[in-house]
Structure 1
Amino acid sequence: MQFLTSNKMADIVPNFFEQLDKKISQIEDKGSMIDLAKGNPDQPTPEFIIESLKKAVDLKTNHGYTPFNGKQNFLDAIARYYQRIYNIEIETKSEILTFNGSVIGISAIPQVILNPGDYVITTDPCYPEYYTAVSLAGGKLYQLPLTRQNHYLPDLSKIPHEIVKQAKILLLNYPNNPTGATATEEFFKQAIEFGKKNKILVVNDFAYAAIAYDQRPVSLLQIEGAKDYAVELNTLSKTYDMAGWRVGYVLGNESVVTALKKYHSHVYSTIFGAIQDAAVAGLDSDQEAVNHIRDTYQKRRDVLVAGLRNLGWDVEEPQGAFFVWIKTPAEYGGQKFAELILKQANVVVAPGIGFGPSGKNYIRLSLTHDEKILKEVIKRFSVLEY
């Protein structure tokens, strides 16, 4: 018997990255295929974090259930980290909640804030999971286009008044996936002022907090008064190459964190205690490993951008994250150009349409391969016929 599923399941679009995986699985010549579509870090987790995990696994205290909100040593380490890196004071008992990866926070925040029909304002393009998170909460999405002319920052003054009246969340993501843009302090000030004026929660998905190339990215919580109107999601996935470890957290506004704790205690599990102990080692370290990871991506960025520009491609240099956002030739949309690249060069890239309508004439390339492979990509692209 085939059971009917709920109406909300009909509104869920297929996972964009799962669809890319399926496409890759169908490729016959996988031996020479190069995957530049996904953002899965290729560098190993720093050895001192791995060693910390090995020791923590032997601790009996880590063999049982851990506290729902996170082990106290992990919460304290997060607070120390934000104090040291961003000069922000965080109250561990009321302003932090840990997750099995920050994507859980992306899903949970709409659940605890939205009523059916409420709007979330975000950008176009955006991280694809925002669509599903809002849909599952019964909300609606209003998207502001990101343009090169505006440095891929949304113009908050362009939001219609009727949308503002129905909005509960402004969801941002800087450093930005997929454009590689970073937010300025001035823009974040505008965002907090917007939230204050309209009683709207401001959220920054800070997944690429440590991956920026010219200067350290601004934390939304560095803005004066931000904790009254905002929360920030963060993760160890990109910062310490710990994507498979599933360690993330949210911090900021006490009332929102309190609601998330209540929700989280019913629908999600806790993080294995040994992994939390290893995360402490990363957060409390001198961050030299983080600098090495960032510098590696910067070298790759410089190689790929320079090579593509030499081919005459319209490429901007990303300021953050580890993606290159590329406008396709005028006669091609992103989907069609991605298919051409796969067919002629056996390179998988992400079509920009997967990130929103404004991405239809773009493709996204990932920097999660070493310079030798990126040079091979450039070589293959040099003989494309289009």
Structure 2
Amino acid sequence: MDVDFHRIKRLPPYVFEEVNRMKAAARARGEDIIDFGMGNPDAATPAHIVEKLVETVRDGRTHRYSTSRGIPGLRRANAAYYARRFGVEIDPDSETIVTLGSKEGLANLAMAITGPGDVILVPNPSYPIHPYGFMIAGGVIRHVEIGPNTDFLANIERAARHCVPAPVALVINFPSNPTAMTVDLDYYAELVDFARRRNLYILSDVAYAEIYFGAPPPSILQVPGARDVAVEFTSLSKTYSMPGWRIGFATGNKALIAALTRIKSYLDYGAFTPIQVAATAALNGPQDCVAEARNRYRERRDVLIQGLAAAGWDVPSPEATMFAWAPIPEPFRHLGSLEFSKLLLRECGVAVAPGLGFGEYGDDHVRIALVENEQRIRQACRSIRRFLGSGGTGTTSDRERVLAS
């Protein structure tokens, strides 16, 4: 039977899949692959969080259905986080909701607020759920170029001016995945002013707000009046090394929170209660583990950037996130990010994420995730240095890669 599902056929082929297949095949042959592809934290969840999960799960009363908007204690803990981190007072009953990770939260809010043909402004390159969550919901995506040398504010003004119908929402993500860009509070103020003038909502993803190496990134909700137009998505995945636990939040505009609350009430019963209790312990408990994670990523960043520079590959040092956004070296730029990623995998045993997977404006970059330890990062840089030193002729053999380890 021929199947042609409407929503599925709107989704483009998954760019990362080809690299993933090559990676799996190489490992099946026994090759050592240093994997910087997926932003999957490798550190264990801090012990006090795990212990709270174990303690809670032993109580059989916690095994029943939970609540889709999140247990009250966890919503209060998120409000307390906003108060101490950003100086923003949040009503835990009407201005925040617990989500199954920020990814699920954004996708479900897209379903709640998007009608057929609604136009959404989305930065390009961006994390895939930012455009495709709205595409799945039936919206029309207007891609807006963003990057270190691009005036995003001017680009969204131009995009909004030429959109018919007018856009209903703007997605932003700072610190950014994949570009690692950061912005200050004045920048957020300009975005809030833009949203007010254009009568649209802002959906801000700040999943990397606690992974920073300079000044702490602000929240858009610190801007006076931002809650009239904005909602913000946060996550415990990177902050507390809890990616598989799937706990995040949406916080801000009451109308958007109410819409997300209503649609989630039809879709899920919330995260398993012991996970929510443990997440509460994460937010309310000692924060040394957050500083340790930040230092770990900083040290890896420094090793990577210095090692690639020694290899002849100049990559900007990110001020935040767990990623480096690496411009493809000039001799290989004509290949594009997918072919260059495959080349690095084949010749160096190093897996990265092709920038094309984050949008066409990312095709001259690759994303390198800081998810391998310092020894492995040095090993990868040595292999890349030999490859680049050979002129990219592919002289690095599997045996050399094994010996380098």
Q: Give the structure-1-normalised TM-score.
A: 0.95
Distance 1:234 1:191 in 2: 19
Distance in 1 (alpha carbons) for counterparts of 2:209 and 2:83: 15
Gaps of 5+ in 1: none
Structure-1 separation of matches of 2:33 and 2:105: 34
Q: Is the 8 A contact 2:7 2:136 kept in 1?
A: yes
Question: Do the aligned residues in 1 keep the contact of 2:147 with 2:179 (CA within 8 Å)?
Answer: no
Per-residue CA deviations over 1:71-106 (Å, capped at 9, x if unaligned) read 111111111111111111111111111111111112
Match of 2:364 in 1: 361
In structure 2, the residue matched to 1:216 is 216
* Residue matched to 2:402: none
* Amino acid in the other structure paired with 1:112: A
**Partner Cα separation in structure 2 for residue 310 and residue 157 of structure 1:** 41
- For 2:9, the equivalent position in structure 1 comes to 10
Q: Would the alpha carbon gap of residues 41 and 164 (structure 1) be closer, same or farther in structure 2, given more than 3 Å must change?
A: farther
1:302, 1:78 → 2: CA distance? 32
Q: SS of the residue aligned with 2:372?
A: coil
Asked whether 1:56 is paired with 2:56, we answer yes
Partner of 1:370: 373
Q: 2:349 aligns with which of 346, 350, 360?
A: 346
How far the C-alpha of 1:136 sits from its partner, in A, is: 1.2
Would you say the 8 A contact 1:146–1:153 is kept in 2? no
Counterpart CA distance in 1 for 2:373 and 2:63 is 38
Question: Is the Cα contact below 8 Å between 2:125 and 2:358 reproduced in 1?
Answer: yes
1:170–1:160: structure 2 CA closer, same or farther, 3 Å change rule? closer
Q: Over the residues paired in the alignment, what is the CA RMSD in angstroms?
A: 1.8
Q: From the superposition, tell whether residues 340 and 309 of structure 1 become closer, same or farther in structure 2 (CA, over 3 Å).
A: same
Q: Matched residue of 1:37: which SS?
A: coil
Write the mapping of 1:45-84 to structure 2, written as runs, cut at 5 A.
Answer: 45-84=45-84
1:39, distance to aligned residue in structure 2 (A): 0.2
**Per-residue displacement from partner, 1:109-158 (whole Å, max 9, x unpaired)?**
22122211111111111001223211111111112212322487774333
Distance 1:190 1:99, change over 3 A: same
Paired residue for 2:120?
120
The question of whether the paired residues in 2 share the 8 Å contact of 1:13 and 1:132 is answered with no
Contact 2:23 2:345 in 1 (8 A): no
In 1, the alpha carbon distance for the partners of 2:69 and 2:93 equals: 9
Q: Percent of pairs identical after alignment? A: 32
In the TM superposition, residue 165 of structure 1 has moved relative to its aligned partner by 5.0
Deviations 1:233-292 (A, max 9, x none): 111100100001111110110011101111111123311110011001110123110000
Match of residue 307 from structure 2: 307
Kindly indicate whether the alpha-carbon contact (under 8 Å) linking 1:20 and 1:37 is maintained by their aligned counterparts in 2.
Answer: no
2:285 aligned partner: 285
Task: State the alpha-carbon separation in 2 of the partners of residues 3 and 75 from structure 1.
Answer: 46
Say how many residue pairs are matched.
Answer: 385
TM-score scaled to structure 2, two decimals? 0.91
Mapped to 1, the partners of 2:115 and 2:142 lie a distance apart of 15
Q: Which residue of 2 aligns with 1:225?
A: 225
Superposed counterparts of 1:124-163, under 5 Å? 124-150=124-150, 155-163=155-163
- Contact residue 101 and residue 247 of structure 1 kept, 8 A: yes
Aligned to 1:318: 318
AA of the residue aligned to 1:340 = L
Using the TM superposition, give the Cα deviation of residue 14 of structure 1 relative to its aligned residue in structure 2, in angstroms. 3.9
Shift of 1:3: 5.9
* C-alpha contact 1:352 1:364 (8 A) present in aligned 2: yes
The amino acid of 1:22's aligned partner reads R
Is the CA contact 1:114–1:138 (under 8 Å) kept in the aligned structure 2? Answer: yes
What residue in structure 2 maps to residue 257 of structure 1? 257
**Using a 3 Å threshold, how does the CA distance of structure 1 residues 183 and 30 change in structure 2: closer, same or farther?**
farther
The one-letter code of the counterpart of 2:250 is V
The 1:3/1:71 distance shift into structure 2, 3 A limit, reads: farther
**Deviation larger for 163-172 or 118-127:** 163-172
Q: 1:323-370 CA distances to partner (integer Å, 9 max, x unpaired)?
A: 111111234222222121111111111111111111111111110111
| Contact map agreement 1:144 1:154 (CA 8 A) in 2 | no
3-state DSSP of counterpart to 1:312: coil
Provide the residue aligned with 2:242 in structure 1.
242
